């Protein structure tokens, strides 16, 4: 039996503390649920407002004109 490794992606989590201050944290996680759990593990009383997956940016090779 072979195990398939979990692929982690970068997520941005917008959350608000109990005083109304909004924070944006970047976390490496396997899913949106995992990203939320990572933030709640650090700060259990926050209100998570949004989670978005950051796109991976790969450099494109430019062709030089001949």
pLDDT of residue 59: 44
Domain boundaries, the chain: 9-53
Measured CA to CA in angstroms, residue 36 lies from 4, 10, 19, 21, 52 at distances of 23, 12, 19, 18, 11
pTM for this prediction: 0.73
For every one of its 66 residues, what pLDDT tens digit does the chain have, with 9 covering 90 and above?
A: 565 667 888 999 999 999 999 999 999 999 999 999 999 999 999 999 999 999 876 544 545 555
Query: CA 33 to CA 28: how far, in whole Å?
Result: 12
What is the radius of gyration, based on Cα positions, of the chain? 17
- Asked if 50 and 26 touch (Cβ cutoff 8 Å), the reply is no
Query: CA 34 to CA 42: how far, in whole Å?
Result: 13
């Amino acid at each position: 039996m072979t195990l398939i490794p979990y692929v982690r992606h970068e997520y941005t989590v917008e959350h608000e503390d109990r005083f109304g201050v909004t924070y944006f944290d970047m976390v490496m996680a396997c899913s949106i649920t995992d990203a939320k759990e990572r933030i709640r593990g650090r700060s259990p009383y926050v209100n998570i407002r949004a989670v978005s997956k950051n796109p991976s940016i790969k450099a494109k090779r430019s062709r030089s004109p001949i």
